[in-house]
């Protein structure tokens, strides 16, 4: 006799946190005068996305936490690239003044 145990899926809230931080990274990365703020939020997005993938329920191919986690990782990666590009642009602009 097997008892039905409920499994807490920690991947769903972490995936949503990663996606929200990705949107915040986009706002700070594109609109802020301080590119490090967007870069910091992008790193948090990547961490939350990878943790969400680690906590995704194994064997469930189309689980929402896995899909949103992958989107958060892709979004965070793009924002890290954008953040470093903008940071180097700001450094080069300030160095020429």
Question: Is residue 51 very low, low, confident or very high in pLDDT (cuts 50, 70, 90)?
Answer: confident
Cα distance between residue 17 and residue 62, in whole Å:
19
Q: What is the pTM of this model?
A: 0.78
Residue 22 makes CB contacts below 8 A (sequence gap 6+) with: 41, 42, 45, 72, 75, 76, 79
How remote is the C-alpha of 17 from its chain's centroid? 8
C-alpha–C-alpha distance, residues 59 and 14, integer Å: 19
Tens digits of residue pLDDT in 19-42:
899 888 888 888 877 778 888 999
- Whether 62 has a pLDDT exceeding 70, the answer reads no
Residue 77 — very low, low, confident or very high, per pLDDT cuts 50/70/90? Answer: very high
Angle at 69 between CA 68 and CA 72, to 5 degrees: 85
Q: Distance between CA 69 and CA 66 in Å, rounded?
A: 5
Query: Which band of pLDDT confidence, cut at 50, 70 and 90, is reported for residue 47?
Result: very high
């Amino acid at each position: 006799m097997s008892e039905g145990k409920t499994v807490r899926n920690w991947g769903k809230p972490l995936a949503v946190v990663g996606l929200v931080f990705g949107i915040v990274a986009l706002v700070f990365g594109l609109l802020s005068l301080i590119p490090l703020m967007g870069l910091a939020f992008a790193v948090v997005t990547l961490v939350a996305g990878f943790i969400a993938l680690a906590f995704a329920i194994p064997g469930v191919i189309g689980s929402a936490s896995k899909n949103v986690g992958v989107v958060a990782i892709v979004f965070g990666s793009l924002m890290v690239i954008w953040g470093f590009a903008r940071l180097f642009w700001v450094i080069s602009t300030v160095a020429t003044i």
